[in-house]
Amino acid sequence: MMNMLIVDDEPLVLLTIKSLCQWEDFDLNIAGEAANGRDALEFIRANPGIDIVVTDVDMPVMNGIEFAEALRRENFNPAMIFLSSYSNFEYVRSAFKSGACEYMLKSELDEHSLLGIIGKIPKDRFLKQEDKNKKREDSEDARSAFFAEILNGGGSGGESLFRRPAFTVGWPFYFLILRPGDILLVHQRYENRLYDFQKTVTDLIRRSIKGPLGDCGSLSYDQYYMLMKTPEELDAAFEMFYKAAWTYIDTGFEKKAGGPAGDLEEFKEQFSRCLAGFLPPSRLITRSRRYIREHYGDPSLSLQDIARYNNVSKNHLSFEFARETGETISGFLTRTRIKEAEKLIMETNLKIYEIAEKAGYLNVETFNRAFKRITGKCPSRFIS
């Protein structure tokens, strides 16, 4: 039976969660409750066998984010589910950076939603800590050894490494290699915290893979991989990850696709070709992206404006942007506008037409169509 701790400064919320269902019927035991992060931390120090923590974000003495960071510093690793009365973007981003498995609003809290979230938590989180660490280290070591073999061009032992239980997919499979769209910007933002960036990206990729047959990981802070059985599954996972990356770490990603790889030799050849397909970020593309980020709110912003800023022709800019990033200028502009619109929806009480205007759209219907195409939902679904 898994042990769960509930942390909230509102007694009614504590009572509501405890009364949602017969937790024992779902192999869950409410081991304790606390009114703030400090008391919760002391409880876990005394009871280190806590598997799941359901915690409020906004609490006195020590809030949920501070509590989660304190747990990480002391090497406690329960599954964290954050609750809040706020749909604020920064709360969401901070929650995931602090190790949240999920973030949900208290207004959406019910038996079905909370049990659904708990059911998605990987079961290996509930192994004994020493077993969990060993399993993770063995898996990561095996994968690192396999990719080191691939990257170094070695031929011996690679097949046996792949057959180890480090991977869930088998031959043949398709794969993606991912790279941050603006590596210089990542350096500027994270400086000496690149490992935190790498871990966050890997977590977001892992959350985007649906189903048991899919693998992912990082080669470095600027290279990541996904392995899946079909290109359709890869495309769906990448789309979900791409949206999450814009939302939580404000970063876009480029991709190179390969497969089907039927054996080690095919994979080595295709993997090397995909890596070589990534071009070093050029000054032209870096300047263009930043110009778009600074001027996306101007509804008259055009390809001609961006080309003129860079002193190049429209055709040259379009060709180089697509060649280097795999995305069109208009596609990047639309994604930037919709990403900013999502932030405004979560952070403000502006009306749809006001958000559309701030995101660079004069016509609300055009905004609605673009928003649904990128997010899969209408803007009103985010507000309601």
Instruction: Give dist(CA 85, CA 108) in Å, integer.
Output: 10
Report the C-alpha gap between 103 and 117 in whole angstroms: 9
Q: What is the pLDDT of residue 384?
A: 46
pTM for this predicted structure: 0.56
Give residue 164's pLDDT: 47
As a whole number of angstroms, the distance between CA 338 and CA 374 comes to: 7
Secondary structure of residue 327 in the 3-state scheme:
coil
Residue 299 buriedness (CB in 10 A; 0-12 / 13-18 / 19+): middle
Q: Are 175 and 129 in contact (CB under 8 A)?
A: no
**How far is residue 232's CA from residue 236's CA, in Å, rounded to a whole number?**
6
* CB-facing half-sphere around the CA of 63: CA atoms within 13 A: 10
- CA 241 – CA 209 distance, rounded (Å): 9
Q: Coil, strand, or helix at residue 162?
A: helix
What type of residue sits at position 350? L
Residue 138's pLDDT is what?
Answer: 56
Q: pLDDT tens, position by position, for the chain (384 residues)?
A: 889 999 999 888 888 898 888 888 888 889 999 999 999 999 998 888 888 999 988 888 998 888 988 888 887 888 888 887 765 556 666 666 666 667 787 777 888 888 888 877 765 555 444 444 454 455 666 777 777 777 766 544 555 555 544 677 888 999 999 999 888 888 888 888 888 899 889 888 988 886 667 888 888 899 999 999 999 999 999 988 988 888 778 888 989 999 999 888 888 889 988 888 887 778 898 899 889 989 999 999 999 999 999 999 999 999 999 888 778 999 999 989 998 898 888 778 899 999 999 999 999 999 999 998 887 788 876 554
Using alpha carbons, list the distances in angstroms from residue 59 to 9, 38, 86, 190.
6, 10, 12, 28
Neighbour-count burial for 123-159, b at 16+ CB within 10 Å, e otherwise: eeeeeeeeeeeeeeeebeebbeebbebbeeeeeeebe
Structure-token pair, residue 160:
């046996």
User: Scanning the structure block, which residue is given the tokens 């969990």?
Assistant: 132
- Decide if 301 contacts 360 (C-beta within 8 A): yes
Domains of the chain by range and CATH?
2-126 (3.40.50.2300), 167-277 (3.30.70.1230), 283-383 (1.10.10.60)
What is residue 316's predicted lDDT score, i.e. its pLDDT? 94
Q: What is the pLDDT of residues 204-220, one digit of tens each?
A: 898 888 666 788 888 88
